Chain A
Amino acid sequence: MSSDIQKIAQEIRIKTFKAIHNAGGGHFGGSLSAIEILTTLYYEVMRYNPENPKFTTRDRLVLSKGHAGPPLYIILAEKGFFPKEMLVELDQNGGRLPKHVDRLKVPGIEVSTGPLGQGFSVAAGMAAGAKADNLNVYVYVVLGDGECNEGQVWETAMNASKYKLDNLIAIVDRNTGQVDGCSDEVMCLDPFAAKWEAFGWHAQEIDGHATDELLIAFEQAKKIKEKPSVIIANTVKGKGVSFMENVYTFHHTKITDEQYLIGLNELEGRWKNDRIR
């Protein structure tokens, strides 16, 4: 099963790369790093129904790093939340798929996000609401590691721990890059897992591109009671495109048609990385 998801994830990655380029550029780095996390959630972990997207006991996904909209939009379209033809509207004037995810415009989006740290608070509120009504619902929230510079993240971390939100599972896309550089230099988060543990969370650290590790981590997180869980998913910013990998300037950018062809050939396995390096 996991190898299938791994394959699907790569297809989503290719579509994401195409979609961002076709939109005239965008958040390549943090979109490509989050692919396996989002794919595993939607293809294996979460309970949802595109035919009845608002049913009460669905699991919720909050994309707190709201700039990683493209892969989520692609997955939602693949799963039938809206027609795939809509994907060409990404970032376009008058289009229905804005750069940062918007719940009022896009079917399947639970919370509009963008300003970092906010989605995490909202996710904790949703988990508390579900708990208050004894709903068997998990709230999954995907954060960026740069996002964890925000004070609101740690306000929320304390609060989720206080209210023992064991139905809240946070996944940090730890791609170690942010707008102005390497996250160690911009604002060091280490010791990262220890920080979460100190805030009362159950923390796991895994390879965020290995879908089998993600699956096991989600299973483990669900078993933890009385405290929220975080999965620190170590990823590569710009994963799969050699000239983008771990190069922070590809956080948000345009690429040339030549770069696009190189990237696409690499992603589709026609070229090996060493050929162009």
Chain B
Amino acid sequence: MIELGEPRDTKKTYCGTLMKLTEKNPNIVVVEADLAAASGTWDFRDTYPERFYNVGVAEQNLIGFATGLSLMGKVPFAATFSSFLSQRACDQAVNSVAFNIANVKMVGTYAGLLNEKNGGTHISVEDLAIFRSMPNIVVIDPGDAIEFTKVLEFASTYDGPVYIRHNKGNFPTFFKETYEFKLGKSVLLDDGNDIGLITTGITTLDAIKACEELKSEGISVRHVHMPTIKPIDRKEIVKTAEKLNKIVTVENHSVIGGLGSAVAEVLCEEHPVKLIRLGFQDCFGETATADYLKDKFGISTSHIKKTIKQNL
């Protein structure tokens, strides 16, 4: 049984971690586009004004400017809503960051349905797909605040472009402080025998709850948490497929181009088994609370349970 820790706020985690990191490495700078309130970096701004840039509501320049800072040896963490970052600054992410292999950390806030009541225009169902298609960029969707911290630490020392999802909210943790994040490595949370389950980002917590409930009904799930969407952990996907002939993926994103697609690509190439992909089924989000959206778009605990039971 996975013991859950006290809820932790993602914005505080982001700001607190960057403040710690910049104490050790003064080259770490924060770049915002008038959404520091969303990423949570006001304390950073007030404590390190000389390491904080706000370019205004200008996402293209956000990423271009961050690229320039990186080429002078800075380690910029540039954030805005994941929908804006992946769409409005897509060209800059491709051509300024990825093409130059610039050391820019792009942080997509309010990822997926966590943009809740801002509605369909602000809910990013395609950011993972967009960033995954860019050469030279690694793509990470952390599961909890502890992993988020470790991912930020990793990103600050990794020399190259990174896209990280910043999952707004106050969620219980499921990792211990001793957890070590490794790029491209998944985490086996439960080694069950009835069906494979691969989850990423905030869906892992709901999936943990689903697995616990299924366990009490005598169903055991091999549950893999997959924080790195690119490079994907091929070995673990194949291992799960070799052991079990059905796999369910869950993501806070469209089933097109994100985790489900990445898993499908590996399975088709290496070990085909039946795959059921939970996530936005080629549709936009809408104005509503996160819980409502999880339910409506089929990634809530009850949907994960139901899907697993239907596919045993």
Contacts and interface: CB of A to CB of B under 8 A. Distances in A.
A122 B101 contact: no
Nearest to A139: B68
A97 B149 CA distance: 42
A117 B60 contact: yes
B68 A114 contact: no
A130 B72 CA distance: 7
A129 B58 contact: no
Interface in B49-71: 50-51, 53, 55-56, 58, 60-61, 63-71
A238 B10 CA distance: 55
B249 interface: no
Given A125-B71, A126-B72, A159 B66 contact: no
Contacts of B69: 125-126, 128-129
B71 A152 contact: no
A115 interface: yes
A72 interface: no
Interface stretch (B88-96, B154-162, B178-186, B250-258): B88-96
A95 interface: no
Interface in A107-155: 110-115, 117-118, 120-130, 132-133, 135, 151-152, 155
A159 B65 contact: yes
A121 B66 CA distance: 8
A271 interface: no
A118 B91 contact: yes
Contact of A156 (B64, B71, B91): B64
A101 to B, nearest CB: 11
Interface in A2-29: none
B72 to A, nearest CB: 3
B292 interface: no
> What size tier do the contact residues of chain B reach?
20 to 34
Q: Which of A112, A114, A128, A162 gathers the greatest number of chain B CB atoms within 10 Å? A: A128
A158 interface: yes
Contacts of B76: 125
Contacts of B66: 125
B7 interface: no
Contacts of A133: 72-73
Given A152-B60, A159-B56, A118 B95 contact: yes
Of the listed residues B29, B53, B55, B74, the one surrounded by the most CB atoms of chain A closer than 10 A to its CB is B55
B53 A120 contact: no
Given A111-B100, A128-B53, A159-B56, A152 B72 contact: no
B61 A110 contact: no
B96 A122 contact: yes
Given A125-B69, A156-B65, A118 B92 contact: yes
A154 to B, nearest CB: 9
Nearest to A168: B68
A156 B64 CA distance: 9
Nearest to B50: A132
Given A104-B101, A128-B53, A118 B64 contact: yes
A163 B58 CA distance: 15
Nearest to B66: A125
Contact of A152 (B50, B61, B101): B61
A103 interface: yes
A122 B64 contact: yes
Given A155-B60, A159-B58, A129 B72 contact: yes
Given A103-B100, A104-B101, A115-B91, A125 B67 contact: yes
A117 B181 CA distance: 37
Contacts of A118: 60, 64, 91-92, 95-96
B68 A155 contact: no
Interface of B: 29, 50-51, 53, 55-56, 58, 60-61, 63-74, 76, 91-92, 95-96, 99-101
24 contacts: A104-B100, A104-B101, A111-B68, A115-B95, A117-B60, A118-B60, A118-B95, A121-B63, A121-B64, A121-B65, A122-B68, A122-B71, A125-B65, A125-B66, A125-B70, A126-B69, A126-B72, A129-B69, A129-B71, A129-B72, A129-B73, A129-B74, A130-B72, A159-B56
Given A124-B61, A125-B65, A132-B74, 4 more contacts: A114-B95, A117-B60, A124-B65, A152-B92
Closest 4 CB pairs of A and B: A125-B68, A121-B64, A129-B72, A155-B58
